[in-house]
Structure 1
Amino acid sequence: MRVDVVAWAALALLLIAAETLAPGAFLLWMGFAAVAVFLAVLLVPDIPVLAQVAAFVVLSFVSIQVYRRWFRKGARQSDQPLLNRRAEQTVGLVAPLDQAIVAGRGRVKLGDAFWVVEGPDLPAGTPVRVVAVNGMVLKVQEA
Structure 2
Amino acid sequence: MSWTLNTTAWAAIALVLMAAETFIPGAFLLWMGIAAALVWLVVLLFPGLGLLVQVVLFVVLSVVAVLAYLKWGRRRERPSDRPLLNRRAEQHVGRVVVLDRAISGGQGRVKIGDAYWVVSGPELEAGTRVRVVAANGMVLEVREVD
TM-score w.r.t. length of structure 2? 0.81
Residues 1:22 and 2:27 are matched in the alignment:
no
C-alpha spacing 1:115/1:14, structure 2 compared with 1 (3 Å): closer
TM-score w.r.t. length of structure 1? 0.83
TM-superposed CA distance for 1:96, in Å, is: 2.1
**Structure 1: unaligned runs, 5 residues or longer:** none
Question: Partners of 2:31 and 2:12 in 1: how far apart?
Answer: 15
Find the counterpart in structure 1 of residue 40 from structure 2.
38
Cα root mean square deviation, aligned? 2.2
**Structure 2: unaligned runs, 5 residues or longer:** none
Residues 73-107 of structure 1: CA distance to partner in whole angstroms, max 9, x if unpaired?
A: 32222222223332111101112211111111011
- Work out the number of aligned pairs and report it: 142
C-alpha spacing 1:13/1:95, structure 2 compared with 1 (3 Å): closer
Find the counterpart in structure 2 of residue 104 from structure 1.
106
Find the counterpart in structure 2 of residue 71 from structure 1.
73
C-alpha spacing 1:10/1:80, structure 2 compared with 1 (3 Å): closer
**Identity value in percent:** 60
Question: Partners of 1:85 and 1:15 in 2: how far apart?
Answer: 31
